[in-house]
């Protein structure tokens, strides 16, 4: 079976599950089934990523494959979190994101081999970076849901999208757990990037768009966590700072790669 057909089948499975689990639908569902079903397209997704990204001793990545890998990690982390926390309201959004990412992976330009990607330190750096992206993707979606819930808090009949969500305090507590976990990984990503750069290029940092936006996003999330601890930030400030940090994190890699690969047709 041609590989593109497998990508299309995987995307279709993700999108069908997203439609079935979209917030606001009142059908009673078996929660065990809800938690397990996303693992089916995820398993195929991981196999396709392994075949496309890992090979010839190095790592091949481009815009589409990076988004696809981040989406797969997002689904994996979210699927695990669903067993521990009441976060099922995001199921439809997470699966829809994964479905679109797999479609883009099938149609956008091929990935290219990343220099020095055969080295273990670089692979560890890459894994931590993508996991941080995934955690902050869930955090950003979570922040949007909190904003919607807060806006409709005092309506006698809230819209279906937010009617079955946990209390706002619970949502905010989960948001900050995601931000904290992502911040630890982002810190380790920047630290390992400095070590890798120093061992390869002889200097701890190379000034680039990735470095600048990566450091700015780290500063934003650090300020958010400090504001939470020092001033008890919640509600609108928490949402604003979370989304601002997420946008900077996207610009650190995805935005740059989009310009290079899609607009300028360069790798």
**DSSP per position, 54-79:** EETTEEEE-HHHHHHHHHHHHHHHHH
Residues 103 and 129 in one domain: no
User: Greater confidence, 174 or 113?
Assistant: 174
Q: Are residue 254 and residue 123 in the same domain, yes or no?
A: yes
- Asked whether residue 68 falls in the same domain as residue 16, the answer is yes
152 and 169 share one domain = yes
Query: Which among 62, 83, 118 is the end of a domain?
Result: 118
**What is the mean pLDDT of the segment spanning 97-102?**
94
Helix axes 120-151, 168-201, angle to 10 degrees: 160
Task: Report the pLDDT value the prediction gives residue 263, as an integer from 0 to 100.
Answer: 45
20 plus 71 within the same structural domain: yes
The last residue of a domain, from among 68, 83, 118:
118
pLDDT at 161: 67
- Over the stretch 51-83, which tens digit does the pLDDT of each residue have? 888 765 667 777 788 889 889 999 999 888 888
> 116-146 pLDDT, tens per residue?
667 777 778 888 888 998 999 999 988 988 8
Residue 3 CA to residue 90 CA, distance in Å, equals 29
Q: Among 84, 118, 152, give the residue marking a domain's end.
A: 118
For residues 50 and 139, membership in a common domain is answered with no
With CA atoms as reference, report the closest residue to 129 among 52, 72, 193, 175.
193
Task: List C-alpha distances in Å: 152 to 10, 162, 184, 216.
Answer: 35, 8, 33, 32
* 63/175 same-domain check: no
The answer on pLDDT for 266 being more than 60 is no
How many domains, in total, are found in the chain? Answer: 2
Sole residue written with tokens 């807060």:
150
Domain housing 192 = 119-267
For the stretch 185-196, pLDDT in tens is 999 988 887 777
Nearest to 69 by CA among 134, 7, 114: 134
| Together in a domain, 109 and 132 | no
* Confidence at 12, pLDDT banded by 50, 70, 90: very high
pLDDT at residue 260, as a whole number = 44
Average confidence score pLDDT of the chain: 81
Residues 232 and 210 in one domain: yes
Q: Classify 82 as helix, strand or coil.
A: coil
Which uninterrupted H or E stretch holds 112?
A: strand 112-113
DSSP character at residue 113 = E
Tokens representing 187 are: 């810190």
Q: Put residue 232 in one of left, alpha, beta given phi > 0 → left and psi -120 to 50 → alpha.
A: left
Which of 266, 210, 218 shows the shortest CA–CA distance to 244?
218
Residues 265 and 141 in one domain: yes
List the beta bridge partners of residue 113: 60
Do 3 and 31 lie in a common domain?
Answer: yes
Q: What is the Cα–Cα distance from 229 to 232, expressed in whole angstroms? A: 6
Q: Are residues 172 and 65 in the same domain?
A: no
Its pTM stands at: 0.84
Query: Confidence band (pLDDT; 50, 70, 90) for 50?
Result: confident
């Amino acid at each position: 079976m041609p590989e593109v057909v497998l990508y299309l089948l995987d995307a279709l499975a993700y999108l069908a599950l997203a439609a079935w689990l979209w917030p606001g639908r009142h059908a009673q569902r078996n929660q065990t089934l809800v938690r397990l079903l996303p693992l089916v397209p995820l398993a195929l997704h991981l196999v396709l990523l392994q075949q496309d990204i890992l090979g010839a001793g190095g790592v091949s990545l481009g815009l589409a494959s990076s988004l696809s890998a981040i989406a797969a990690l997002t689904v994996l982390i979210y699927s695990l979190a669903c067993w521990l926390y009441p976060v099922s309201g995001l199921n439809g959004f997470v699966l829809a994101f994964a479905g679109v990412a797999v479609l883009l992976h099938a149609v956008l330009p091929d990935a290219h081999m990343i220099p020095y990607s055969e080295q273990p330190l670089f692979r560890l750096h890459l894994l931590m970076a993508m996991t941080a992206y995934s955690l902050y993707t869930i955090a950003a979606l979570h922040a949007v849901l909190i904003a919607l819930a807060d806006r409709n808090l005092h309506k006698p009949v809230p819209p279906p999208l937010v009617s079955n969500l946990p209390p706002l305090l619970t949502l905010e507590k989960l948001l900050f757990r995601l931000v904290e976990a992502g911040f630890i990984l982002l810190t380790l990503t920047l630290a390992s990037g400095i070590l890798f750069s120093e061992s390869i290029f002889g200097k701890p940092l190379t000034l680039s768009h990735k470095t600048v936006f990566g450091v700015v996003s780290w500063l934003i999330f650090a300020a958010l966590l400090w504001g939470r601890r020092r001033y008890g930030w919640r509600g609108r400030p928490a949402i604003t700072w979370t989304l601002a940090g997420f946008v900077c994190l996207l610009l650190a890699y995805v935005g740059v790669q989009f310009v290079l690969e899609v607009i300028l047709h360069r790798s």
